[in-house]
């Protein structure tokens, strides 16, 4: 967080300060940023942080943000990932306008740029093998040895480079190296590779190329070609920045972009690496990239997170240079805070036990008015059916209840939400299992709506559904995907997958009020006293709904479940 007191903008940070200075000094008149994912996996919540920074900064300065597929590495990229990335960025609420680009479209210009460096004697074709190079490059504390090819004639390098492109050499033999500084303590500056031979089919350029640029060479060029002013990325690129600047300087771009690094997002109980997320998908440890337990944008969307809650989260965590963990509870807090304001309420009984109101006429039904959202009067009311037989939560009844149990127990009175006051007159129990099979009550007809005319106090209020009107719903309850706070921190020889929580998904069958049978799509409900739920967008079944638990009402990890 920015601690600069003189700054009036409360949401500012060191990146925004730099950009603001560049605008003020007239260095740039139009701010251009970019978000450059490699299409080799789905985006995750860490990318959401980068997206909010890249698009957010551009928007605040009336600039533009480019969406660029950083697809210079052919092996693992494909169009499914490209489409998912476009979809996810749009869903998060950001717009790249006409500025959608593929790095692979710059391959010809990158080739030309490499040839330019060779002509300037700033690059050469090297014939050392990878193993030999390790030896030449050396270690940070001692200068390396120059490659025997370092000073070969320009013409020879140019010729070999053209023949590399023409496919005249096997994979992994020759490469193009930048000629920088073999004694630099920064190993990235010791004649790094710019181009290598790799016969790999590229999802966009097909088999046109058998040489591919390295990330370090390609990235500054992509930024410069697109006139990016501020290239915002995560801290691991900090040590690459001198190289980034070197390429731009040697290629004489008049207005080179400036790279600025910020700390990546790490979340507790979560793994945020595309490689590992891909492994979970491939090994069937989750049900696809959009499994609601996944930290992918697709997973969070299916789980029921809102784009606004993710943006709020990204704003709250801020932008710093310090690596650390963010508590996943903060993400859930941002969501709860929003859903508490916006989610319509409904009644759903997740673990039902039957209640018979013995003094209520059999066959009678009535419709009671229920408030849709006490936080939002414009949400209005709805009618819920009431009848002689209801379901309540099994744990809202206790045979031998302590004094402070303000729910149902023999002889005790409780309020049925939006209904009547009822008093427990008895219960039936399975003689073998000891399970309560039915709770018997009497209702007070004078308490419709839940208040006693004589003003007597009833502390407890429980939710319920009318048995003949109830709809059966599959409900998927989720827990953290990993049971360790820092799942990737394992000892040598161990695997982060040992930290998977085998109980992260629990499927139950609930009984829900009839309005939940077939709601309009994408509505996030608060099941009263239980949490927030949304109909699954994939496993959608007419009249037999499937609900995902988005988050419980309270954070059960830090607070014990409230009893009301």
Least distance CB 209 / ligand ATP (angstroms) = 20
Cβ atoms of 144 and 182 closer than 8 Å: yes
Pairing of strands 465-466, 389-393: antiparallel
Q: x/- binding map, residues 3-42, to ligand ATP, per CB under 6 A?
A: ---------------------------------xxx----
Which residue lies nearest ligand ATP, judged by its C-beta? Answer: 46
Of residues 15, 69, 211, 265, which one binds ligand ATP by CB under 6 A?
265
The active-site residue out of 264, 440, 537, 554 is: 264
Least distance CB 284 / ligand ATP (angstroms) = 20
- Of 505, 551, 558, nearest to 530 by C-alpha is 551
Q: Which residues, numbered 229-248, are part of the site for ligand ATP (CB under 6 A)?
A: 233-234
Stretch that binds ligand ATP, among 12-20, 160-168, 264-272, 525-533 (CB under 6 A): 264-272
How many chain residues interact with ligand ATP (CB under 6 A)?
A: 15
Least distance CB 493 / ligand ATP (angstroms) = 23
For 429, list phi and psi in degrees, rounded to 5: -135, 140
**Cα angle at 146 between 158 and 127, to 5 degrees?**
45
Of residues 28, 49, 258, 480, which one binds ligand ATP by CB under 6 A?
49
Number of helices (H), then strands (E), in the chain:
12, 27
Q: Tell whether residue 272 is a contact of ligand ATP (CB under 6 A).
A: yes
Nearest-angstrom CA–CA distance, 547 and 511 = 11
Cβ atoms of 249 and 259 closer than 8 Å: no
DSSP 202: B
Stretch that binds ligand ATP, among 44-52, 128-136, 336-344, 521-529 (CB under 6 A): 44-52
Other CB atoms within 10 A of residue 36 CB: 23
Which lies closer to ligand ATP via its Cβ, residue 38 or residue 191? 38
Q: Tell whether residue 274 is a contact of ligand ATP (CB under 6 A).
A: yes
* DSSP of 272-324: --HHHHHHHHHTTSSSSTT-TTSSBHHHHHHHT--HHHHHHHHHHH---S---
Helix, strand or coil for residue 82?
A: helix
Stretch that binds ligand ATP, among 266-274, 372-380, 460-468, 540-548 (CB under 6 A): 266-274
Which lies closer to ligand ATP via its Cβ, residue 88 or residue 479? 88
Helix, strand or coil for residue 533?
A: strand
Q: Tell whether residue 50 is a contact of ligand ATP (CB under 6 A).
A: yes
| 274 catalytically annotated | yes
The active-site residue out of 34, 38, 49, 204 is: 38
Chain center to CA of 431: 49
Q: Catalytic residue positions?
A: 38, 264, 274
* Site of interaction with ligand ATP (CB under 6 A): 36-38, 46-47, 49-50, 233-234, 264-265, 272-275
């Amino acid at each position: 967080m920015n601690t600069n007191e003189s700054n009036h903008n409360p949401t500012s940070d060191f990146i925004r300060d730099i950009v603001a200075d560049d605008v003020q000094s007239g260095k740039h008149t139009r701010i251009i940023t970019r978000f450059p994912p490699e299409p080799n996996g789905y985006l995750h919540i860490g990318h959401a942080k980068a997206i909010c920074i890249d698009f957010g900064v551009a928007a605040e300065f009336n600039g533009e943000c480019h969406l660029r597929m950083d697809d210079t590495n052919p092996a693992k990229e494909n169009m499914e990932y490209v489409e998912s990335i476009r979809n996810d960025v749009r869903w998060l609420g950001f717009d790249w306008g006409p500025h959608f680009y593929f790095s692979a479209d710059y391959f010809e210009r990158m080739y030309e740029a490499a040839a330019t460096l060779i002509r300037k004697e700033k690059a050469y074709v090297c014939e050392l093998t990878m193993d030999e190079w390790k030896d030449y490059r050396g270690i940070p504390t001692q200068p390396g040895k120059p490659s025997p090819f370092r000073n070969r004639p320009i013409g020879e390098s140019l010729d070999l480079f053209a023949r590399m492109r023409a496919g005249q050499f096997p994979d992994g033999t020759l490469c193009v190296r930048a000629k920088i500084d073999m004694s630099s303590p920064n190993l990235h500056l010791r004649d790094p590779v710019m181009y290598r031979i790799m016969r790999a089919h590229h999802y966009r350029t097909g088999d046109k190329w058998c040489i591919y640029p390295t990330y370090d060479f390609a990235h500054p060029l992509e930024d410069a070609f697109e006139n990016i002013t501020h290239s915002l990325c995560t801290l691991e690129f900090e040590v690459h920045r001198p190289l980034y600047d070197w390429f731009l300087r040697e290629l004489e771009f008049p207005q080179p972009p400036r790279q600025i690094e910020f700390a990546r997002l790490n979340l507790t109980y979560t793994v945020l690496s595309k490689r590992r997320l891909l492994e979970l998908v491939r090994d069937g440890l989750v049900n696809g990239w959009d499994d609601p337990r996944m930290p992918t944008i697709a997973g969070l969307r299916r789980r029921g997170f809102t784009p606004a809650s993710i943006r709020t989260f990204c704003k709250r965590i801020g932008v710093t240079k310090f690596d650390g963990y963010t508590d996943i509870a903060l993400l859930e807090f941002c969501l709860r805070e929003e859903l508490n304001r916006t989610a319509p309420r409904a009644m759903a009984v997740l673990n039902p036990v039957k209640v018979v109101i013995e003094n209520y006429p059999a066959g009678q039904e009535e419709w009671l008015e229920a408030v849709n959202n006490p936080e939002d009067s414009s949400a209005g009311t709805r009618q819920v059916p009431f009848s002689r037989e209801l379901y309540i939560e099994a744990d809202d009844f206790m045979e031998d209840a302590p004094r402070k149990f303000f729910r149902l127990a023999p002889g005790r009175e409780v309020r049925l939400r939006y209904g009547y006051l009822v008093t427990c007159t008895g219960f039936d129990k399975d003689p073998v299992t000891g399970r309560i099979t039915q709770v018997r009550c009497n209702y007070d007809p004078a308490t419709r709506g839940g208040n006693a005319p004589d003003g007597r106090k009833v502390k407890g209020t429980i939710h319920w559904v009318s048995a003949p009107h109830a709809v059966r719903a599959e409900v998927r309850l989720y827990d953290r995907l990993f049971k360790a706070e820092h799942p990737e921190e394992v000892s040598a020889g161990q695997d982060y997958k040992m930290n998977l929580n085998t109980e992260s998904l629990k499927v139950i069958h609930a009984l829900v009020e009839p309005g939940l049978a077939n709601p309009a799509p994408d509505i996030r409900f608060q099941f009263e006293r239980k949490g927030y739920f949304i109909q699954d967008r994939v496993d959608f079944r007419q009249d037999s709904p499937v609900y995902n638990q988005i988050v419980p009402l309270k954070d059960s990890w830090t607070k014990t479940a409230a009893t009301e």
